[in-house]
Amino acid sequence: MTSGSSPSSAPAWAALADLAGRAGVVSLRERFALDPSRSEHFAGGVGDLWVDWSRHPVDDEVMGLLCDLSEQRDVSGFCARMLAGDMVNPTEGRSATHTALRASDGDETLGRMVDLADSIRDGSYTGATGEPVRAVVSLGIGGSYLGPTMAHEALAHLAHPDVTVRFSSSLDGADLTAALDGLDPATTLVVVCSKSFTTPETMVAADAATAWLREGVGDDLSLHLAAATAAPQRADDRGLDPDLVFPLAESVGGRFSLPSAVGLALMVAIGPEAFRAMLAGMHVVDRHLGETPVAANVPVLLGLLDVWHRSFLGATSLAVVPYSHALRRLPDHLQQLMMESLGKRVTADGSPTNGPTGPVVWGAGGTDAQHAFFQLLHQGTDVVPVDLIGVARSVVDPLGTRHEALMANLLAQAEALAFGRTEAETATLDVAPDLVAHRVFPGNRPSTVVLLPELSPSTLGQLVALYEHRTVVQAAVWGVNPFDQWGVEFGKDLATRFGGLLADGDDRQEPSSGLIRRYRKLRDPD
């Protein structure tokens, strides 16, 4: 990114601002009528993915200026420095090395993960009582939970039939209780995923899980506790066997940590070969980012389109709608990835941003979403860009009967959002005159369609990496640091202080003293 300069100082910025005022003059209906090949012209492939951005209010002039903006903001240079392992996180003085994790399979930590996963999957790894370990429970929060959980559900069709893998993240005790329900401590391995090994939510869960294990197998838990952490000494202080401590690099942010040791439980579930295929899929997109010219670079173009909508057209949110039950947790993962990376009000050098940055990211799975919030997308007063994600071949509906209907819904929504329905068209449907206005759809609602040939480890890795790089591109244009999260740290610090106050500490000087007293009264009614 261009440090110390505002994005609006780039010559392309003013030209784009001028075009934005006229973006709605030509409707999407008219754009497609003028260019019948538009869906091929404004689309491209990355790895096995096909991405269609033709249903956005852009033309060659807009896309050309966005590419100029990318050059003027040195987006390619920033991405190249990230891929090379240079320092790109100035507030923490770090590189961002998540892409290095998928560049080769010769990493020592990956090899140790493979050995453990193989031994659990083939039944040769035994616990304190000599029984084979048949369950893995992964404890973590944020990136240590959202990415692995999403990938585990997405690839559930590859799960080992005799090994149970579960995840737990919440401080709410009901979450861990559900994760441990029906499991036997003697045949369970608990993996504690925390970079600092001090994350309150994770360590509270680790203490509770340790107590549960101890009740079942006694005090020797050396074969039942593992860790993924950047603080191995803290894991050692808690008595974990060093052979079961898998290091994380400080330079791998939590929201980018899926290919790291945080993915151990996922590897146990789907197998090392599939895990490596996911890494290889990510690497395909990494190479595309680093080697493809901007005009054909799909993650760069998607990031530039996001900037177009947020900075120039005023969109405040992005909806992500996967038409795949297996990908239903993808919006949760992308919420953290994009909002934690782009939710910044100052640039990397500490100066205020001169305009809005990251949008609110939200969404849900396919047809459920249509019956929940698509009313707002079609006829609401806000224009919300939408990502519609589809899978061409289903692994659970081989005859394609239901799957064809699912994909028909995706295509129908893309068309309805873009083209709408006019008053004249509505009147031909034998609609009562006083209801015509209610049945009109304005259209011109932008959407991107992302198509996967099938949901495999490789294509999932490609999809995740596509969104990672798209996010970094936006940060590079706006000049914000996508690799820190000081807002998260602030809330955690306050939670520690309030924990003491809730334990009947002196709260007389607290702005929240009335609420604290009300909580205590509800907690202890007698």
For residue 62, what are its two tokens?
A: 């807009």
Question: Which residues 6+ apart lie within 8 Å of 343 measured at CB?
Answer: 357, 358, 487
Known active-site residue 344: no
Catalytic residue among 283, 309, 340, 469: 340
Residue labelled with tokens 């304190």: 128
Q: For residue 420, give both structure tokens.
A: 């709408």
Nearest by Cα to 95 from 81, 80, 108: 81
Rounded to whole angstroms, how far apart are CA atoms 477 and 70?
A: 7
Q: Are 59 and 31 in contact (CB under 8 A)?
A: yes
For 205-271, the DSSP string reads HHHHHHHHHHHHH-S--TTTEEEEES-HHHHHHTT--GGGEEE--TTS-GGG-TTSGGGHHHHHHH-
Query: Is the Cβ–Cβ distance between 337 and 161 less than 8 Å?
Result: no
Residue 521 is a catalytic residue: no
The number of beta carbons lying within 10 Å of the beta carbon of residue 344 is 21
Selecting among 371, 404, 423, 454, the annotated active-site residue is 371
Catalytic residue among 41, 157, 438, 492: 492
Q: Which residues pair with 321 in a beta bridge?
A: 388
- Percent composition of the chain: helix, strand, coil (DSSP 3-state, to 5): 55, 15, 35
Strands 164-168 and 135-139: parallel
Distance (Å, whole) CA 36 – CA 366: 27
Annotated catalytic sites, by residue? 340, 371, 492
